[in-house]
Amino acid sequence: MSTIATMKQQARATWAAGDFDAVVPFIWEVGGVTAEAAACEPGDRVLDIAAGSGNAAIQAAMRGAAVTASDLTPELFEPGRRRAQDNGVELEWVEADAEELPFADASFDVALSTFGIMFAPRHSVAAAELARVVRPGGRIALASWRPAGFIAEMFRTIAGFMNPPPPPEGPPVRWGTEAGAHELLDEAFEIRCEERILMQRYPAGIDEMTDYFMPRFGPMVMARRALEPAGRWDEFVAAYRELTRRWNEGGEGESALPAAYLLVTGTRRG
């Protein structure tokens, strides 16, 4: 199996671990931001790339668009269907690799991704696929974690203990930099970039937030499987607790972690 195929297999296993839908409330707000930023409306054909359990896709459907949610990890679709039903909408769910989308050229009016396409290992391939499936004049709205912020530091902390192979085209947060977004997208899109902060809140103390997060967030679940047999799990948890305490902006007995992201909106060139 090639290195890229192995990375994708590992990614699917990671996001299928735990209970991703239980952590969706921490990023739900951004799905609404991207759906609004792309002006999704009735009559639009919308593709959510690396949709997970439908964070942005469901909110685009709530605006009346015809939505396809695609992801490499179909294990996330069932909770997504339940969440869609709870919100009174239906959408299509398609297992798909962001680097090899099973859709015709120019088949969508809008493409969205919230913290999804950024994790495709070959950024340039995913960007080319994004451009291929959006019609001329079509719109995009992408949210990606920035390299300076709590989330980026969290992933660096995990990587420091897990020692994953280096990504072939740089870290995922390349998508979260203005320079990276222009490098990847300017050939096909006229884009605009806006730095934003998502406050990830939890109605209890920061250690309680960590206790909720650890068994539910796939990368943490996989880290535990690897580190506990090696006797390093407690060390990792201590490092993560220190990280969250340092970043916490919540008051007494509450948690508020500032998660910095880049919102990229744009129009497909003709």
CATH of domain 3-146+165-199+259-268: 3.40.50.150
| Model confidence pLDDT, tens digit, residues 199-226 | 999 999 999 999 999 999 999 999 999 9
Residues 61, 89 contacting (CB under 8 angstroms): yes
Q: What is d(CA 242, CA 238) in angstroms, rounded to the nearest whole number?
A: 6
Q: Report the DSSP pairing between strands 134-145 and 255-268.
A: antiparallel
Give the residues across from 114 on adjacent strands: 143
Q: What is the pLDDT of residue 47?
A: 98
CB 151 within 8 A of CB 197: no
pLDDT tens digit sequence for 12-28: 999 999 999 999 999 99
Give the model confidence (pLDDT) of 153-195 as tens digits.
999 999 999 988 888 999 999 999 999 999 999 999 999 999 9
**Average pLDDT for the chain:** 96
258 φ/ψ angles, rounded to the nearest 5 degrees: -80, 115
Domain ranges for the chain: 3-146+165-199+259-268
pLDDT tens-digit series, residues 253-266: 999 999 999 999 99
Token pair of 18 as six digits: 């735990």
Predicted pLDDT at 164: 86
Give, to the nearest 10 degrees, the angle between helix 218-227 and helix 233-247: 140
Checking if the pLDDT of 142 tops 90, the result is: yes
The predicted model gives 137-161 an average pLDDT of: 96
| DSSP SS3 for 5 | helix
Cβ–Cβ under 8 Å, residues 244 and 210: yes
Q: State yes or no: pLDDT of 1 exceeds 70.
A: no
End-to-end CA distance of the chain: 38
